[in-house]
């Protein structure tokens, strides 16, 4: 393959080889670079002299740590305009009654096609796994995982009520999921189980994951009340054990309701237990803190900065896409990044804030590439039509995605363009 002309772009310093010294970093934390690649690998990175020529802000491809491919794009048929959790659950159950493998495969295919063109390189998806149709959803998404290997890495998590793991059917599911290379998941409140029920179910889940050598990813404390009840229970159960499988807790929204003196020791305990957190601000803002007929006051979500300060690995994810749990979303990591200053006061010029979208989810998913550009790294980049972070927030930018040294086809504009074209005849 011929050597392509060097790319000229600006990349965040935190996504560049820390071994490169003396790089000029601008106020946005960006470094102007010439990037050379050959045969799908980066061959050279050179800082560019100061110039007035505008350069595109670039990132390495991003990672979606929390999605639901089995139900995505189902909002139109199963809407939940009231936006309550009860309404979402009831529509989810109705939708699941008619869900089948072919439908899940079609949804997953459409989802990964959009994810790939938007610049995602890995997606972790939870799958409703307690019902009669669960096996066909798994078969479909395992097929999807092999179809997309090398383009978008797909990780799969079994999602069931936590008590399911204490049943014989749960143990059988765990064995089957582990053999398929999946993770064990579940929902830990609300509602929380009475007495020792959740505690026993958690202990059983930990036993299964440890015996089978799988990781765990729980929906935990997706709530605007009973702050951190699930997280405290999990930590209590872990204190009774000498070892633990790798654990991720998704949502952790009610932790945001703790005051500083309650949160600091909890965050330290999570860091000490090696529990990672996936913050999901969009679904939390849509579903939580609702007050009938009034504007929301409580806007609970994972306290990202406090957790990071304590040493917890925190990634930000998109969660539901156009399903009963959230009407929007498009598997677009730049959308999530563009909204993050508003949803979570994350400012991507800050190393730690940007890490929640890039290197932290790569670590959380144990991906083979950390997402840092260095000589020998994959020639994978997302170039945006923005020149700096403010520009990125100002308007949804065009983008070009380079994967394995080749440009992906330009996005076709998607459903919005089709709609406009149709109206123009
Ligand atoms: Zn979820």
Does the bond joining 191 to the residue before it have cis omega, within 30 degrees of 0? yes
What's the 385 CA to ligand 1 centre distance in angstroms?
A: 31
Task: Name the residues annotated as catalytic.
Answer: 222
Q: Please give the mean pLDDT across all residues of the chain.
A: 95
- Residues with Cβ within 8 Å of 286's Cβ and at least 6 positions away in sequence, in order, are 83, 325, 326, 327
Mean pLDDT within 240-250: 95
Tell me the sheet residues that pair with 158.
127, 184
What's the 15 CA to ligand 1 centre distance in angstroms?
A: 27
- Give this prediction's pTM: 0.96
What's the 127 CA to ligand 1 centre distance in angstroms?
A: 9
What's the 207 CA to ligand 1 centre distance in angstroms?
A: 23
* CB under 5 Å of ion ligand 1: residues: 319
Mean pLDDT within 18-24: 93
Q: In the block, which residue shows the tokens 């677009």?
A: 332
* Ramachandran angles phi, psi of 342, nearest 5°: -80, -45
| pLDDT value of residue 92 | 97
Mean pLDDT within 215-241: 97
| pLDDT value of residue 189 | 79
Tokens of 283: 């679904």
What's the 187 CA to ligand 1 centre distance in angstroms?
A: 9
For 280-336, what is each residue's pLDDT tens digit? Answer: 999 999 999 999 999 999 999 999 999 999 999 999 999 999 999 999 999 999 999
| pLDDT value of residue 133 | 87
| pLDDT value of residue 412 | 67
- Integer Cα distance of 280 and 353 in angstroms: 14
What's the 326 CA to ligand 1 centre distance in angstroms?
A: 10
| pLDDT value of residue 421 | 77
pLDDT confidence tier of residue 417, bands split at 50, 70 and 90: confident
Tell me which residue of 227, 279, 251 sits closest to 159, measured CA to CA: 251
Q: What domains lie within the chain, and their CATH numbers?
A: 7-60+372-414 (2.30.40.10), 62-364 (3.20.20.140)
What's the 219 CA to ligand 1 centre distance in angstroms?
A: 6
- Integer Cα distance of 212 and 176 in angstroms: 10
Tell me the sheet residues that pair with 124.
155
- Integer Cα distance of 126 and 208 in angstroms: 18
The number of beta carbons lying within 10 Å of the beta carbon of residue 120 is: 26
Q: Does 418 have pLDDT greater than 80?
A: no
Torsion of CA 6, 11, 17, 20, to 10 degrees: 80
pLDDT confidence tier of residue 222, bands split at 50, 70 and 90: very high
| pLDDT value of residue 49 | 87
For 146-198, what is each residue's pLDDT tens digit? Answer: 999 999 999 999 999 999 999 999 999 999 999 999 999 999 978 888 768 99
Q: Taking phi first (over 0 means left), then psi (-120 to 50 degrees means alpha), and beta for anything else, what does residue 202 get?
A: alpha
Tokens of 419: 């709609």
- Integer Cα distance of 122 and 65 in angstroms: 8
Mean pLDDT within 202-229: 97
Mean pLDDT within 102-126: 98
| pLDDT value of residue 420 | 72
For 121-147, what is each residue's pLDDT tens digit? Answer: 999 999 999 988 899 999 999 999 999
């Amino acid at each position: 393959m011929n050597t392509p002309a060097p790319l000229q772009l600006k990349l965040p310093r935190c996504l560049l080889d820390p071994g490169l010294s003396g790089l000029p970093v601008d106020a946005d934390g960006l470094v102007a670079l010439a990037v050379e690649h050959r045969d799908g690998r980066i061959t050279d990175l050179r800082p560019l002299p100061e110039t007035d020529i505008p350069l595109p802000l670039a990132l390495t491809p991003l990672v979606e740590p929390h999605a639901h491919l089995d139900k995505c794009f189902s909002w139109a048929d199963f809407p939940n305009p009231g936006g309550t959790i009860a309404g979402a659950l009831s529509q989810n159950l109705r939708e699941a009654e008619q869900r089948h493998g072919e439908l899940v495969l079609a949804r997953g295919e459409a989802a990964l096609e959009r994810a790939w063109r938007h610049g995602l390189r890995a997606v972790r998806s939870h799958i409703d796994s307690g019902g009669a149709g669960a096996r066909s959803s798994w078969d479909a998404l395992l097929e999807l995982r092999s179809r997309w290997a090398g383009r978008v890495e797909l990780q799969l998590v079994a999602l069931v009520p936590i008590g399911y793991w204490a049943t014989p059917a749960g143990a059988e599911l765990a064995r089957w999921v582990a053999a398929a290379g999946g993770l064990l998941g579940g929902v830990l409140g609300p509602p929380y189980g009475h007495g020792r029920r959740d505690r026993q179910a958690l202990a059983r889940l930990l036993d299964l994951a440890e015996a089978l050598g799988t990781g765990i990813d729980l929906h935990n404390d997706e709530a605007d009340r009973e702050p951190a009840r699930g997280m405290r229970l999990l930590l209590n159960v872990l204190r009774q054990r000498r070892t633990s499988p790798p654990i991720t807790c998704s949502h952790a929204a009610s932790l945001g309701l703790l005051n500083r003196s309650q949160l600091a020791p909890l965050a330290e305990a999570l860091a000490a237990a090696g529990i990672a957190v996936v913050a999901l601000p969009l679904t939390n803002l849509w579903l939580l803190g609702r007050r009938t007929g009034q504007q929301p006051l409580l806007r609970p979500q994972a306290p990202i900065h406090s957790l990071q300060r304590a040493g917890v690995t925190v990634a930000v994810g998109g969660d539901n896409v156009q399903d009963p749990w959230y009407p929007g979303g498009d598997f677009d990591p730049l959308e999530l990044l563009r909204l993050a200053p508003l949803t979570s006061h994350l400012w991507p010029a800050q190393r730690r804030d940007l890490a929640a979208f890039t290197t932290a989810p790569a670590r959380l998913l144990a991906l083979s590439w950390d997402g840092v550009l260095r000589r020998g790294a994959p020639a994978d980049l997302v170039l945006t039509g923005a020149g700096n972070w403010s520009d990125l927030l100002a308007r949804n930018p065009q983008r070009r995605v380079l994967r394995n040294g080749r440009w992906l086809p330009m996005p076709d504009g998607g459903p919005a363009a089709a709609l406009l074209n149709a109206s123009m005849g």
